[in-house]
Amino acid sequence: MIVDTTEVARDFGTTPEALRQPFRHIVGIIPIHGRQEFLKLSTAEGTISKYTENEAEILRRIGNRQYSLPVFTPTVRREGIYRYNGHQLTWFTTDYIKSQELYPFTPENPANPDSFEQHLPTIVDTTIAIMDWPQDRPLPIDIPKNRVASDIQHKVNEWMNERLSTPEMIKKAARAFELQEQFFTNENQPASVLDTGPSHGDFVPNNFRIAPDGDLYLMDLEHAKMNWLKFYDVAYMYHRLYTKYKNPELARVFLKSFIEKYAQNHSFDEREIRNFKTALAQRLIGGYFDAAADEVTSWQLQDELAMKLLSVGSLESFL
């Protein structure tokens, strides 16, 4: 829902100009005892508030050193429930960190990837560090581990029926239906025997930000889970670099760097390849939705990557 930022600004002691509502949250800077904090306020009860609660919880755990990362994350300072027109909306604040996107996405003028490439080893280490988090304490949006595969299969089928079912989309997103058939339809296919693991949930280049002092921050952890598709973050980053940033070479370098580092202390056998390919299939199907909605994600690169996934057993063509 649309929340009146003027009213929120008054209640949090700031100005309406300091707040904005880009999507599901009102975000902005508020003054607290002479310092600045960053506010994140959900705009609806239910799912959106649960995601907000989820982000505050994972940031607390990282801040309390329960989970380690080679990058920084914001520190939660305050949290609570904001009552607005009979609704109870979850909110929290963190330190305000002046920073800029490490690899901003600008469709008109593609950003220079040099900074991303410079920090690639740290990004790879961050991916692995998240995967190594213990899974013993579910987060607020987690579902039971034994339901992950069926939940993903259900969601994919629901997406296909609701969002890719028009004649135009059936034609343009034909590869999505092939991916659905190969990975998410038959109970004997990979989706029925998935391994799970922790994930950031929105592991994309623009969620890494660089501060003026050079510190690297990982942001936007509202989708974090302890039990989700194993290699989901790897697949997400690879897919985003490939089809939206339109940089297949950088995607290849990222995946190759990840596999080389991961294999130093973990096995990367056929089972792991299957896990990665299933996660990538899920992201590719989502990518067809993105291409239809944002008019930026490349249909051509979507199909190119889907063909690799559908026709190749090994990972050689991805590297």
Q: Residue 187: what pLDDT?
A: 56
Place of tokens 């598709």: 229
314 and 183 inside one domain: yes
Can you give the pLDDT at residue 190? 53
Residue 142: pLDDT over 80:
yes
Give the tokens for residue 107: 């469709």
Same domain, residue pair 52 and 183: no
206 and 62 fall within a common domain? no
Co-location of 306 and 174 in the same domain? yes
CB 51 within 8 A of CB 42: yes
| Among candidate residues 207, 222, 231, 221, the one with its CA nearest the CA of residue 282 | 231
DSSP at 223: T
Shared domain for 123 and 194, answered yes or no, is yes
Q: Give the tens place of pLDDT for each residue, 269-296.
A: 888 998 999 999 999 999 998 898 888 9
List the structure tokens of 51: 């995601």
Statement to judge: residues 301 and 210 lie in one domain: yes
Proportion of the chain above pLDDT 70, given as a percent? 97
CB-based contact 124:257 (threshold 8 Å) = yes
pLDDT at 204: 97
Residues 69 and 127 in one domain: no
Mean pLDDT of 51-67: 97
**Do 18 and 9 form a contact (C-beta atoms < 8 A)?**
yes
Residue-level pLDDT at 149? 81
On whether the CB atoms of residues 234 and 272 are closer than 8 A, the answer is no
User: What pLDDT does 44 receive?
Assistant: 94
| pLDDT, tens digit (0-9, with 9 covering 90-100), for 198-227 | 999 999 999 999 999 999 999 999 999 999
Both 182 and 79 in one domain: the answer is no
Report the CATH number at residue 193. 3.90.1200.10
Amino acid at 254: F
Nearest-angstrom CA–CA distance, 159 and 176: 11
Residue 108 lies in a domain: no
The arithmetic mean of pLDDT across residues 150-160, rounded, is 83
Could you tell me if residue 169 is inside a domain? yes
**Position 165 pLDDT exceeds 80:** no
Q: Is residue 285 domain-resident?
A: yes
**Residue 105 within a domain:** no
Q: Which two tokens stand for residue 224?
A: 């974090």
Annotate 259-286 with b (16+ C-beta within 10 A) or e (fewer): beebeeeeebeeebbbbbbbbbbbbbbb
pLDDT of residue 191: 54
> Is residue 110 scored above 80 in pLDDT?
no
What integer best gives the mean pLDDT of the chain? 91
**CATH code of the domain containing 10:** 3.30.200.20
For residues 89 and 123, membership in a common domain is answered with: no
- Residue 193 has a pLDDT of 64
- Whether residue 159 is found in the same domain as residue 266: yes
Q: Quick one: residue 164, left, alpha or beta (phi over 0 = left, psi -120 to 50 = alpha)?
A: alpha
Mean pLDDT of 257-262: 96
- What's the whole-number mean pLDDT along residues 79-89? 95
Report which DSSP code applies to 198.
E
Average pLDDT over residues 18-42: 94
Q: Is the pLDDT of residue 308 over 70?
A: yes
pLDDT class of 90 with cuts at 50, 70, 90: very high
pLDDT for res 5:
93
| Domain span holding position 238 | 113-133+143-318
